[in-house]
Amino acid sequence: DTAVSQTPKYLVTQMGNDKSIKCEQNLGHDTMYWYKQDSKKFLKIMFSYNNKELIINETVPNRFSPKSPDKAHLNLHINSLELGDSAVYFCASSQTSGTNEQFFGPGTRLTVL
Amino acid sequence: EDQVTQSPEALRLQEGESSSLNCSYTVSGLRGLFWYRQDPGKGPEFLFTLYSAGEEKEKERLKATLTKKESFLHITAPNPEDSATYLCAVQGWTGNQFYFGTGTSLTVIP
């Protein structure tokens, strides 16, 4: 059983295009996150959603827009893609009560040409 | 400003050679310190959560410890399967922000 899943795993696109990445979790968690991991492997949080409400937006360009249709899904839409957007994007989820550790998806490698 | 620094950046060990990885942190009220393992091409895999100074957790060849300023991940008699990047993250009480370090890339040579 996959706890946190993302699609697609790889995404290659041209500059200026618009693309989406989907994430789903079956852990029953109430909070979901998007992270960006750059070429130096540094993980930086982009967004956090708790019960479908945005609670973090860490200086991310407004070309990035998260959408959460329900507690189990958090999608990331990116407009007007730029070369610098090339990275691996990870979705994660956690439960705010309890031990609070985050569980990560397998990642989406985005390459902008 | 909350931040996390991990050292060394890279570590090469002979199989069976024990060592420790360091995670130094500054955070305005520690809610939790987390250790993750990341294999190439995969998402981080949760290992441990530590909440207060003096706490220790163990799992197989790994043992994590916590002080007020840093955490150590001790690896006892590693084997090549332990090769991975080990990430440390902290969460403060001010919000849901997780701050990750840049990781330690561990290579265990047979």
The string of DSSP codes covering B44-105 is -EEEEEE-STT-EEEETTEEEEE-SSEEEEEE-S--GGG-EEEEEEEEETTSS-EEE---EE
Instruction: Pick the closest to residue B87 from A5, A24, A15, A44 (CA basis).
Output: A44
Q: What is the pLDDT of residues A14-60, one digit of tens each?
A: 999 999 999 999 999 989 999 999 887 889 989 888 876 787 777 88
Q: What is the pLDDT of residues A74-112, one digit of tens each?
A: 999 999 999 999 999 999 999 876 667 899 999 999 999
Are residues B46 and A102, on separate chains, in Cβ contact within 8 Å? yes
Instruction: Pick the closest to residue B71 from B92, B93, B55 (CA basis).
Output: B55
The residue assigned the tokens 């047979």 is B110
How far is Cα of residue A66 from the mean position of the Cα atoms in its chain? 8
Q: Please, are residues B80 and B109 in contact by the beta-carbon 8 Å criterion? A: yes
User: How do beta strands A64-70 and A53-57 pair?
Assistant: unpaired
pLDDT at A1 over 70: no
Q: What is the pLDDT of residues B27-62, one digit of tens each?
A: 888 889 999 999 999 999 999 999 999 999 999 999
Return the residue in A54, A101, A103, A109 with the most chain B beta carbons within 10 A, the one to mutate for interface testing.
A101
Phi, psi at A30, each rounded to 5°: -105, -5
Return the residue in A9, A35, A41 with the most chain B beta carbons within 10 A, the one to mutate for interface testing.
A41
